[in-house]
């Protein structure tokens, strides 16, 4: 297990409206449950008990999912990414790109491991995908984490990366590529990630959906898939693996 130091920055919430709607839905069901209890069974006690139990179960289910969503956003994903960065085996002098860096959750963890390197983050700074997402917030987090001198931020489209071919030793992306609405656009983004990766370099994409397509696209770009797996319950955005993140890892052959 990674021994990453405590975080000093503030990284917001992923898809901030999702847990809010879950919690509001749970509260509404709980209120209906209380109303039914006050009304009493009337002439059908069994139907009343089933109705109350169903509402209580629905409320509990929504609260559970909201809680797991918040846990993953605030704790779980950081623990998993710390382990993934350890698996990559950074030596400290690499040039790393984080595609869709947001407020810097992964970018700045990587920067801590690059005392002689450079961590470059690219984003278009959407607040729908992450609360409070802004370049100035990420720069402030970099300063709080003590890595501002080795971090660079760029505004851009992941489908047209503003970098030269083979300019990064490592490319990572966390919960970003699925936000591209069309399959052709996601393929373009994955191929752009492969393009800017140096020969012998390593790539890691973590996302909620489309992981099989990412793996196929990377292979079509000439990369070798080295890992394709679920990341476990710490990366569940709700209760169950069907709302969990998956990893696609690859390397670019040296010849």
For the chain, 255 residues long, give each residue's pLDDT as a single digit of tens: 455 667 888 888 888 889 899 999 999 999 999 988 888 776 678 888 888 899 999 999 999 999 999 999 999 999 999 999 999 999 999 999 999 999 999 999 999 999 999 999 999 987 766 777 789 999 999 999 999 999 999 999 999 999 999 999 999 999 999 999 999 999 999 999 999 999 999 999 999 999 999 999 999 999 999 999 999 999 999 999 999 999 999 999 998
- H-helix or E-strand spanning residue 28: helix 17-39
pLDDT of res. 255? 80
pLDDT of res. 43? 66
* Radius of gyration of the chain from its Cα atoms, rounded to whole angstroms: 21
pLDDT of res. 96? 98
What DSSP line would sit under 202-229, residue for residue? Answer: EEEEEESS-HHHHHHHHHHTT-EEEEEE
pLDDT of res. 45? 82
pLDDT of res. 1? 45
Q: Which two tokens stand for residue 215?
A: 């793996």
Instruction: Look at the block and give the residue holding tokens 């983004």.
Output: 189
pLDDT of res. 251? 98
pLDDT of res. 115? 96
- pTM, two decimals, is 0.89
The answer to whether 222 and 167 have CB atoms below 8 angstroms apart is no
| Domain residue ranges of the chain, discontinuous segments joined by + | 17-69, 89-251
Fold (CATH) for 89-251: Rossmann fold (3.40.50)
Question: Going by DSSP bridges, is the β-strand pair 224-230/246-251 parallel, antiparallel, or unpaired?
Answer: antiparallel
pLDDT of res. 133? 79
pLDDT of res. 4? 60
The C-alpha atoms of residue 18 and residue 236 are separated, in whole angstroms, by: 13
Instruction: Look at the block and give the residue holding tokens 């990412």.
Output: 214
The answer to whether 194 and 168 have CB atoms below 8 angstroms apart is no
């Amino acid at each position: 297990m990674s021994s990453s130091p405590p975080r000093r920055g503030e990284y917001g919430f992923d898809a901030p409206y999702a847990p809010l709607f879950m919690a509001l839905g749970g509260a509404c069901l709980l209120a209906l449950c209380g109303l039914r209890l006050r009304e009493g069974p009337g002439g059908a006690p069994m139907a009343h008990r089933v109705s109350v139990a169903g509402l209580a179960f629905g409320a509990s289910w929504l609260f559970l999912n909201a809680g797991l969503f918040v846990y993953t956003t605030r704790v779980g994903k950081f623990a998993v990414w710390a382990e993934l960065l350890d698996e990559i085996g950074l030596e400290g002098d690499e040039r790393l790109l984080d595609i869709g860096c947001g407020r810097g959750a992964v970018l700045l963890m990587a920067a801590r491991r690059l005392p002689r390197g450079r961590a470059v983050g690219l984003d278009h700074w959407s607040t729908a995908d992450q609360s409070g997402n802004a370049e100035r917030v990420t720069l402030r987090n970099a300063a709080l984490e003590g890595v501002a001198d080795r971090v660079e931020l760029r505004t851009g489209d992941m489908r047209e990366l503003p970098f030269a071919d083979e300019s990064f030793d490592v490319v990572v992306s966390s919960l970003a590529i699925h936000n591209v609405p069309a399959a052709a656009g996601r393929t373009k983004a994955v191929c752009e990630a492969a393009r800017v990766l140096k020969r012998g370099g390593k790539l890691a994409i973590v996302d909620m959906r489309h992981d099989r397509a990412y793996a196929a696209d990377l292979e079509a770009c000439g990369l070798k898939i080295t890992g394709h797996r679920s990341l476990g319950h710490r990366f569940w955005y709700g209760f169950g693996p069907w709302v969990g993140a998956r990893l696609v890892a690859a390397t670019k052959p040296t010849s």
